[in-house]
Amino acid sequence: MASRVTELKVNGATRPVDADPERSLLSNQVEGCLIIGLGAALFEAIRFENGKILNPRFSRYPVPRFGDIPQIDVVLRDRKDLPAAGGGETPIVAIANAIYSATGNRLRSMPLVPQGVVKS
C-alpha cells in the first residue's frame, strides 16, 4: 500500500554555472535563483476554496524561510566555448527528478509537495 510523504527536505545544493568567474555578483544571483526555484518547487501555492483565495496576504503565502534553505555551493566555471545560460531554474527539475527517483511518481504541477508525493 502506498504511503503519503508529507514533507521533503533539501539538505544541500551545488550549482555549477558556465560563466566568467570574475563576475563578482553572479554567485549571489545564482544563490537567489536557487532559493526561488526551491520555493516554487516545494512551498509556493495560491490556495483556493469556493472561489476565494485562502492566502491573500503575503504573510500567509508559503515561501522558504531561512531554516528551509540548505547549504548552497555555487561553482563558477569559465567556459568561453559556451554562451551564457540561466543559473537558477534547474532546482525545480532536480527536485522533480529526485521525487521521481524516490517514489516512481512523475509530478508535473507545483508545488511538488506535499500533495502528490506518494512512496510506493
Whose cell is 545560460? That residue is 85
Annotated catalytic residue 49: no
Which contiguous run of DSSP H or E holds residue 4?
A: strand 3-4
For residue 98, what is its C-alpha cell?
529526485
- Reading phi first (left if > 0) and then psi (alpha if -120 to 50, else beta), residue 116 is in left
- Active site members: 89
